[in-house]
Amino acid sequence: MTTPADRLTSYSRSGLTFDVRDEGPADGPVVVLLHGFPQDSRSWDHLAPLLHARGFRTVAPDQRGYSPGARPKARWAYRGSELAADTVALIDTLGVGKVHLVGHDWGAAVAWQVAAERPDLLDTVTTVSVPHPLAFIKAMVTSTQGLKSWYMGAFQLPFVPEKILASSSLGEKFLVSSGQTPENARRDLNAMLAPGRLRGGLNWYRAMWMTKPNPAAARVTVPTLHVWSDGDAAIGPKGSALTPAFVDGPYRFEVLRGVSHWIPDEAPTELDRLLGEHFSS
């Protein structure tokens, strides 16, 4: 019988402590779930039980800026190299060998980097909504993606984004306009009001210019599933169309029709089916 002591509730790296939700069959293959902005590990609440029913153990951290013990103030602390290293440390702490890595939104960006830099740690990688980072950059200048990503520039402003998102009415309006339900928008915004958490989440955007992409080190060789939804208000189709050029391993691309950006909340059954097929293949 599994006891609470057998579960990972937190792990540490470089003086920071990350909260973890470790659920499902304790002896099952591990699926590491990485959330995006402005969510936390609860964004997987609808998907995780479906994976448990398939026999998988899910491990979902509250990432840098979200866990109370991991909210550094400086924006440079949120560089992509640090975010990826946090996930590598989690996998090392688990000590189970290779894992299946799944990321949504910013979690997908981290998953892409881990897959490129540490393929030895992964059985598969699944990226939800966000395409390969170099494909995304190219899409920014060759399609309407730059217009869709206007908020990334707005988030560079000091203090103003915090004030807007901390306002229950304005913050909720922003998230609902992107496809979230009012209930989920309130869930995520209320959690972001914890001291330092909103600044930490926004610092992911503010640090994105501090890492120069290295195309030679960005090739992905592990089996890859990329899932995009055609109702995504933030991510257009161009980045996904360009993504195969950066994947050398087995690659599968799936489009969820009529689904918004918030795939794990909105379409967990469809995502579970795709993951089950991907993991078994």
The domains of the chain, with CATH numbers, are: 4-280 (3.40.50.1820)
Cβ–Cβ under 8 Å, residues 121 and 84: no
Q: What pLDDT was estimated at residue 1?
A: 34
In the predicted model, is pLDDT for residue 4 greater than 60? no
Residue 130: strand pairing partners: none
| pTM over 0.85, yes/no | yes
Please tell me the distance from the alpha carbon of residue 276 to that of residue 195, in angstroms, as a whole number. 38
Please tell me the distance from the alpha carbon of residue 9 to that of residue 23, in angstroms, as a whole number. 10
Per-residue pLDDT reduced to its tens digit, 23-60: 999 999 999 999 999 999 999 999 999 999 999 999 99
Please tell me the distance from the alpha carbon of residue 31 to that of residue 144, in angstroms, as a whole number. 34
